[in-house]
Structure 1
Amino acid sequence: MKKLSYTKQIAIAVMGYLSSFVACAEENERPNIVLILADDLGYNDVGFTGETEIQTPNIDQLASDGIIFKNGYVTHPYCGPSRAGLLTGRYQARFGMENNVSYAPDDKYMGLPVTETTFPKRLQVAGYETAVFGKWHLGGAPHFQPNNRGFDYFYGFLDGGHNYMPGEATVGGGGYLLPLMRNKGVAEFDEYLTTALSNDAARYIQQTSDKPFFMYMSYNAPHAPLQAPQSYIDKYSHIENKQRRIYAAMVDAMDDGIGTLINALKEAGKFDNTLIFFLSDNGGVYPEEWLPTFSWADNTPFRRGKVALLEGGVHVPFIAHWPNKIKRGQTFEGLVSSLDIAATSVALAGARNGDLDGVDLVPYVTGQKRGSPHHALFWRLEEAANIYAVRTMDAKYMRQPLPNVGRSYFDMLADPYETENLVDQYPEKQAYLAELWNEWNSKNVNSVLYQSWEYKKAVSDFYETLHQKNVREAKQTPTYKIE
């Protein structure tokens, strides 16, 4: 074998060093990504949308130092399906998950289909460390749990909600009362839930390596039950409505928790190269006929709220913050979807894109592209036939069997708050929106999961039927004799 000259050996060594250096530099340039999701937060319940009653200084600072998406939307007007769209980057109608899943750890079908790849999994494969804190709501069986869906670390709960006070946790209770989990085991829960999640996330940030990380901070707040530390409630003693007073305290505590995360990022020297998204999973609760006392959120200036396809249900507070890339003090008018968080994250990580429905927002927030990332956004609900909505920058066409809603057409430029129904007055424009929706829907599948309350009834009926069958077919009867 021919020996390499000393000069060539040095050259190869230097090239190897430089390659390693470049790889490390590229690794360090990839941003950390923090996705903060509020639960049932009213559009007008944070300062950057105009609220003055509830104090949210940390969220507002992120908004003023980043970019506010004035037309930011989620893919569904309530919890589970919205999260399914968010974490996959695909409309949940693509894979038939349009209902809230029940906490059913023994049901191998009740959860986000395993045929779907979450975008945190894509980031994990691309070399990101991944963590989730708080509400999961995408299935309780082992194969649905966070550690098997793209997350290295999990601290939180699997059901669609949880009590906030640690003294109420019990192994004999339902999902809202179960102990918190760390990965696949039971975890400590010794302080107010929002605070516990924030503190654990801050510790995680402080212990991260030099690898980029993705954090999904999935707050339960301000979702019911309405519970908050008395010190926070006392800050809002001027609010007469007791429910809203506690709700305001919950939002305030969440904002403090976000401040804890920000401080941890700064102390770790990671703040400037961290892309932070903040949004709500849907609109705030609205006192519908079946929930007449749920009147604590404020979705002004939009109509109605959670469960509605009107703006109050799907148009949410939505911001992005990234000191290294996003100029402060921006607002963006184009149509932005929660789907875009996956597409943006995957692009930044250099991960495999897959068949995503979202758009990479970086060119838009940095000024490289102008206009709207989406020509149209779409919605479909499973509760009954023909519940739909489609929105372009100019107009919105929808149908939902709610009081004073029904089939509606709105001029979104002249009437962004949907006060005047112009249905059938512009037949060509209306037909065009219907055509867009039909084309989108042709690529969807039927909903494959029971709604949570339907599922619980079906399970209860099954056990009752099984019991009655056992009674009828019992082997040991009074006439049974031995010899």
Structure 2
Amino acid sequence: MQVDRRSFMGGVGALGALAATGEGHSATQPQRPNIIFIMADDLGYADLSCTGSHHIKTPAIDSIGAQGIRLRQGYANSSICSPTRTALLTGCYQYRFAIGVEEPLGPAAPEGIGVPLDQPTIASVMRGIGYRTKLIGKWHLGEPPKHSPLHHGYDEFFGIVEGAADYFRHHMVMGGKNVGIGLAQGDTPIERNGYLTDLFGDEAVRTIENAGDTPFFLSLHFNAPHWPWEGREDAAVASTLGASFHYNGGSLAKYREMVEAMDQNVAKLLAALERSGKADKTIIVFTSDNGGERFSETWPFTGVKGELLEGGIRVPLLMRWPGGIAAGSQSDQVMISMDFLPTLLALAGGDVARAGRFDGMDLSAQLTGKAGVVQRSLFWRYKENGQAALRDGEWKYLKLGDKEHLFNLAEDERERADHVADDPARLKAMRLKWDSWNAQMLPYPLGSFSEDVRDHYADRY
């Protein structure tokens, strides 16, 4: 069913307060599972050893899928960072919100922009059913205090506010100087020594060990392997960088080091769950915010971050829940970032219908083997180069600039056998379907970026 934006947002506002109250939660209900949602930054589909990396070893992350389920058709809501994070937070297409139309969210965005404060979020709906909520890592969805994580459903926050940070200086660096808020505890900037990936992993371990019996929802959003290209031994290099836009640096070896450092921190987290007796009571998700960048692998897909080809939006997606998800499962279910809110809420025993109205789909039955794969339609757009995409079942409509394409992903996931000429009726129908969806979304603001700022920040976050 198509829902216009006015009706959609009206329903969201009316139900937001209900979601926050936790009405209907009973102390007599069985213990809810803990949930740990791990998201990498700019990790490509084939950058894990279990998804096909030629040189990176990720045994800890791989184990999440081996002991649970791996979805080969996992998608990000956008080919860049902050729009995907908007969709993840809200369970909705990011284009329903002004912040989601900023591609990316950067210095040229309107002051004070953020997700509406009355919008139910993945954190607020979990808090509403009795979870303690915490975000560790990257936020990139607005500036404190008005739009800090603490005002969007999280009880605690430890991480970086902006879209990127030096791994040692913990700030964006421009002109040789630290800029922005950088590392924060709650709404307060703080100073810590150490490599960011390790700081985030250590904080996650402490959170698990100190959790007690209250169920927790932990968002662990690593900034790895996003630039600047720094490993654990590069503190001296970091101190000399004039800007975080480290485009004359990096290598396949350095990228491997950064991803494997993240995997080692996931290993610490898994060990903490075992020590604390929480491993069998915890749902773990691992995914990425968009496709990979310059040192990444996306095989067998083409395209990278900033493109709506499969390589720019197809991401790893692994989930583990002992006793709830069968170990060693694989699924062809299509799942996207905005699905996590309704799906995890349902797995936790919450009432999705009472929580709000979402574009994301509850796929809990598909993940737990109680229902088969469901076909669906998913939409993307990206203002750079006039990109548009629709996945409708196995077919994909793709527009790059003024050129349209039509692919059957079941037969050609590399997007090379173009059916534009031989199936004009399907092309027209899918174009019209995308146009109908797009008419319900916010338009891109005219002049939201000056040309020089857009060129500088395009595909940077």
TM-score normalised by L of structure 1: 0.79
Deviation sequence 1:317-364 (CA, Å, 0-9, x none) = 111111120001111012111111111122224154311111222211
CA-based RMSD of the aligned residues comes to 2.7
Indicate the residue corresponding to 2:393 in structure 1: 393
Which ranges of structure 2 fall in alignment gaps of 5 or more residues?
1-24, 236-248, 455-461
> Matches of residues 41-440 of structure 1 in structure 2 within 5 Å?
41-96=43-98, 97-98=100-101, 99-102=103-106, 107-108=111-112, 110-166=113-169, 173-175=178-180, 178-230=181-233, 243-285=251-293, 295-347=294-346, 348-351=348-351, 352-372=354-374, 374-383=375-384, 385=386, 387-401=387-401, 406-440=403-437
Bigger shift: 432-441 or 391-400? 432-441
Secondary structure of 1:225's counterpart equals coil
Higher relative contact order structure (alpha carbons within 8 Å, sequence separation ≥ 6): 2
Equivalent position SS for 1:140: coil
In 2, distance between residues paired with 1:424 and 1:272? 53
Counterpart amino acid of residue 135 in structure 1: K
SS of 2:258's equivalent?
Answer: helix
- How far apart, CA to CA, are the structure 2 residues paired with 1:389 and 1:339? 16
Q: Where does the alignment leave 5 or more consecutive residues of structure 1 unmatched? A: 1-21, 233-240, 286-294, 458-483
C-alpha displacement of 1:270: 1.4
Q: How far is the alpha carbon of 1:242 from its aligned partner?
A: 5.4
Cα distance in 1, alignment partners of residues 71 and 449 from structure 2: 32
TM-superposed CA distance for 1:215, in Å, is 0.7
| Distance apart, 1:375 and its partner CA | 1.3
Whole-Å separation in 2 of the counterparts to 1:106 and 1:146? 19
**Deviates most, 163-172 or 71-80:** 163-172
**Match of residue 445 from structure 1:** 442
Distance 2:366 2:286 in 1: 17
Q: Structure 1 residues 306 and 105, CA, compared in 2 at 3 Å: closer, same or farther?
A: closer
8 Å contact 1:408–1:423 — kept in the other structure? yes
Secondary structure of the residue aligned to 1:324 is coil
* CA–CA separation in structure 1 for the residues paired with 2:155 and 2:450: 31
Question: Contact 1:400 / 1:406 at 8 angstroms: preserved in 2?
Answer: yes
Alpha-carbon separation, structure 2, partners of 1:454 and 1:341:
35
1:432-460 Cα distance to aligned partner (Å, 9 max, x none): 32233233223212235976776968xxx
Deviation of 1:90 (Å): 0.3
- Structure 2: distance between partners of 1:419 and 1:47: 26
After alignment, is 52-61 or 438-447 more displaced?
A: 438-447
Deviation at 1:431, TM superposition (A): 2.5
Structure 2 counterpart of 1:391, one-letter code: R
Query: Which residue in the other structure is 2:38 paired with?
Result: 36
Query: Are 1:72 and 1:335, in contact at CA under 8 Å, matched by a contact in 2?
Result: yes
Q: TM-score, normalised by structure 2?
A: 0.83
SS of equivalent to 1:144? coil
The alignment covers a number of residue pairs equal to 411
C-alpha separation between the residues in 2 aligned to 1:33 and 1:400? 38
Matches of 1:72 and 1:129, distance apart in 2: 27
% identity of equivalent residues: 34
CA contact (8 A) 1:103 1:159 kept: no
Structure 1 residues 123 and 452: CA distance shift in structure 2, 3 A: farther
Task: Compute the displacement of 1:25 (Å).
Answer: 5.6
What is the one-letter code of the residue matched to 1:123? M
1:275 to partner: Cα distance? 1.1
Range moving further from structure 2, 193-202 or 442-451 = 442-451
Bigger radius of gyration among the two = 1
State the distance in 2 between where 1:133 and 1:162 align.
14
Partner secondary structure for residue 298 of structure 1:
coil
